[in-house]
Structure 1
Amino acid sequence: MSDAQFGVLNVIGAPVATTRLSEQAIICVPPRSAKFTLAEWKLSNDARNRNAEDQAQLADRILKECERVRDQTKESAKLLKETTDRRIDERIGDVEFNKGELKVQRKEIINELEALSMYKTRLQDCLASLEANALTICRKCLMLRDGRLGIDLAVDNVEDALQNEITTILGGQSLLKRALEQLNEQMRRLRSVRYLLDRDLQYKQAAIDSDKGSLTLKPTDLSLSIYEGYSNLDPADISAEEYNAYSAKNIQQAARAVSSARPIRVFIDTLLKQVIDDLWTAYNKCNHEFNERIKETHIAKGRLEEMHHETAKKICDMQNNILELQKALAEKEGYIGLAHTRLGRRSQRVGAELVKDPPGQSLYYECESLRHSVEQLQQMLQEATASLRYLLQTQIQLEEDINVKMNTLKIDEVDCMTLRATMNYHFY
């Protein structure tokens, strides 16, 4: 077999190195004979040997290259995994640090919310106490004082003080309600910031759990999978700078919310103290006016009672005087009757005996004197009777005035002051 035929056989049959085949040309030869020559046999054996040697050398080079590539890729994969593990661990540390900062701010917000909740309770208790206690008592005092009688139903300093106290209470309620609205708004902002922090903490905890779970994975785990999609394998579209800015923004926003919430507590403390001081001032002034009015009423009542006592004494004296006058008139009737009888008998004398002698003149003068005395006694009796009637009327008026003063004292001293004793403006 010729070399050309051997080349054709190599192309058709046995595998030969591509470099050598690319260099050889295919030559068409006429069909060979049925048997090969000895030269062809030797050439074929030599070609087989050379080809085997070439393939062995090529296989040695491939084996060494494969071993080198295996070692290189193994070392590279190990280094890449260690680098990735280290970076994931560093990332976990960074996220945990940010998480810790967020937890600190969240704790500050929770503490501030608890403090503001206490202040809210103080404001609500103060408003409820002013509405149910102080304002109700003041209005009830005004209503009770409308039950005064007669001249005592007057617009006095007590009524003005009660109106001023009601105005002070309503003004304090208005201020406290506005402060409560500001406090509720501040608490709403803090809750909003806390919600953002909770969501950020939740996301960070999920990221930490995911990265920690990634650190526990091994190349030999059975749960591994290879992504074969068409989109980008890394779906993240937020840069590290944007992430750091976002975390810093949440921390700064929480710090600002806490800082802006603290001054409102000082404001509420100051406001409560000012409102309570104003209420105590109005309360003490109103009580002072009540005490002064009660003192004046007691003095007036005492004077009326003295006058009533004097009037009653005068009535008794006048009644005794009327009895004495009536007795005197009754006595005068006897003297008048005696004088008239004597004068009548002497008028029956006869003749010259009917003379104007001294006894007759004395009897006539006695009758005139007695008549004049009776007229005086009757006039005095009429005056005494009229005076007694006026004294009795005055006594009734004094008793009515004393009853009016007693009713006023009951309203002011007993009812109103007892109610006002239950008013207590303590610090909420």
Structure 2
Amino acid sequence: MGEAQFGVRHVIGAPVATTRLSEQALVCMPPRSAKFTLAEWKLSNDQKCRNTEDQQQLADRILGECQRVREETSERSEIMKATTDRRIEERIGDIEFNKKELQIQRKEICIELEALGVYKTRLLDCLSSLQSNALNICRKCLMLRDGRIGIDLVVDDVEHALQQEITTILGGQSLLKRVLEQLNEQMRRLRATRYLLDRDLQYKQAAIDLDKGSLSLKPTDLCLSIYEGYANLDPANISAEEYNVYSANNIKLAAKEVTSARPIRMFVDTLLKQVIDDLWVAYNKCNHAFSERIKETKIAKGKLEDMHRETTQKIIDMQNNILQLQKALSDKEGHVALAHTRLGRRAQRVGAELVRDPPGQALYYECEMLRHSTEQLQQMLHEATSSLRYLLQTQIQLEEDINVKMNTLKIDEVDCMTLRETMDYHAY
């Protein structure tokens, strides 16, 4: 075959002598097609017309079907959207109903916590008052009564009453502390239940907000997106029954805790009243013992004062008596000197005149009588002096006893009773 048949053309600008086959660009020309007949031409036109008509009919059917599908899917989408919206609204209503129930129970818990807080304050006030007021006063009264002196430092009914009152106060404190522990435990349980309700309410409010936000979305919103992940688009794994049971259990738990808290308040009221009544009984009993002891001490002090006045009068009488005895003795000295002088003078008689005559006998008896009288007066003076000394000692002892009673009265009537007037037991 020649060069024209293969369509070989030289590269422009390259020498012909140096052109090789590998450096030439070859273009293959297809062979000339065969010619068709007129019948074939008509048949081809008819076939194309029929194909075109068939495709147009198919297109018409597809257009109609597409219109129907569009309308059907649009209507189905609207129905499903309306159904979903209604379901979401119903769900929001259910959640809001449960939320209201939880809020009611939470309010009850808050009210009960506030009430228990008041009762806790009452218990703490009562315990503080018993410790800082009543108990300290009773112990201080015992300490003050240890300041009694002498025979008045006795274990009497007042001391027993004070010890009994201290025992009553300590017993009341023990009871109040135990009920305070129960009250604190109940408040802790109420706070824990309130925490569970708060968390449940928070979750429910978040669910309501999400559902309301979902309900407000429209298909034309720009914030919409299509999920293209592989995980399940609905991760919910809690059934409706489990959800209802969970909410119902929270409501029941809250109601149970509130119901359990109310008897504690009644018990606190009863216990406070009982403790205060017992304290008042012990207080009145102790005050009665103080009154009786003060009355006895005053009676004893009055007797001692009467005896002291009588003893003082006796001392004055005895002192006057001693003076009179001393005066009598002084007077007797003159009579004795006179009698002795007369006997001495008569002893100077001489001779027969030195006779035992009646005057001499009288002088002798007078001297004996005067000696005996002097001895009697001296004996009485000695006894009077001893009696005066004993009376003075008795007077001093009576004064000491009176001072002891005065000290006791000051401790019991002034110090202790003044302190006890500050003791106040009330309902708290």
1:394 aligns with 2:408: no
Residue 130 of structure 1 and its aligned partner are, at CA, apart by 0.5
Matched, 1:408 2:422: no
Map 1:123-202 → 2, pairs under 5 A: 123-202=123-202
TM-score by length of 2: 0.92
- The residue aligned with 2:379 is 379
> How far apart are residue 344 of structure 1 and its match?
1.3
Cα 1:342–1:33 change in 2 (3 A) is closer
Q: Give, in whole Å, the separation in 1 of the partners of 2:279 and 2:38.
A: 136
**Would you say how many aligned residue pairs link Structure 1 and Structure 2?**
398
After superposition, give the CA deviation of every residue in 1:46-86 in whole Å (9 maximum; x if it has no partner). 11111111111111111111111101100000000000000
1:64-83 pair list within 5 angstroms: 64-83=64-83
Q: Work out the CA distance in 1 between the residues paired with 2:62 and 2:178.
A: 88
Q: Name the CA distance, whole Å, in 2 between partners of 1:284 and 1:314.
A: 44
The residue that corresponds to 1:113 in the other structure is: 113
User: For residues 49 and 183 of structure 2, what CA distance do their matches in structure 1 show?
Assistant: 99
CA distance in 2, matches of 1:275, 1:282: 11
Q: Paired residue for 2:333?
A: 333
Letter in 2 for 1:332: K
Structure 1 CA distance for aligned equivalents of residues 414 and 33 of structure 2: 152
1:300 deviates by 0.5
Where does structure 1 differ by over 3 angstroms across 4 or more consecutive aligned residues? none
Residue 92 of structure 1: aligned partner: 92
- How do 1:135-284 residues align onto structure 2 when only pairs under 5 Å count? 135-284=135-284
Alpha-carbon offset, residue 33 of structure 1: 6.0
1:266 and 1:216 mapped to 2: Cα distance?
Answer: 51
| Alignment correspondent of 2:419 | 419
Amino acid at match of 2:145: R
Question: What whole-Å deviation, never above 9, does each CA across 1:380-425 have from its counterpart, x for those lacking one?
Answer: 0000000000000000000000111111111110000000000000
Q: What residue number does 1:37 align with? A: 37
Aligned to 1:8: none
Following superposition, the deviation at residue 34 of structure 1 comes to 2.6
**For 2:232 and 2:110, how far apart are their aligned partners in 1?**
42
| Distance of 2:104 and 2:49 partners within structure 1 | 81
Cα distance in 1, alignment partners of residues 147 and 166 from structure 2: 19
> TM-score normalised to the size of structure 1?
0.92
Give the AA of the match of 2:207.
Answer: A
Post-superposition shift, 1:353?
1.4
Cα offset for 1:357?
Answer: 1.2
Unaligned runs of 5+ in 2: 1-30
Q: What CA RMSD, in Å, does the superposition of the two structures yield over aligned residues?
A: 1.0
Q: Sequence identity, in percent?
A: 80
Partner of 1:26: none
Match of 1:357 in 2: 357
> C-alpha offsets along residues 329-388 of structure 1, whole Å, 9 cap, x if unaligned?
000000011111111111211122111111111111111011000000000000000000
Q: Map Cα deviations across residues 220-240 of structure 1 (whole Å, 9 max, x no partner).
A: 111111111112111000000
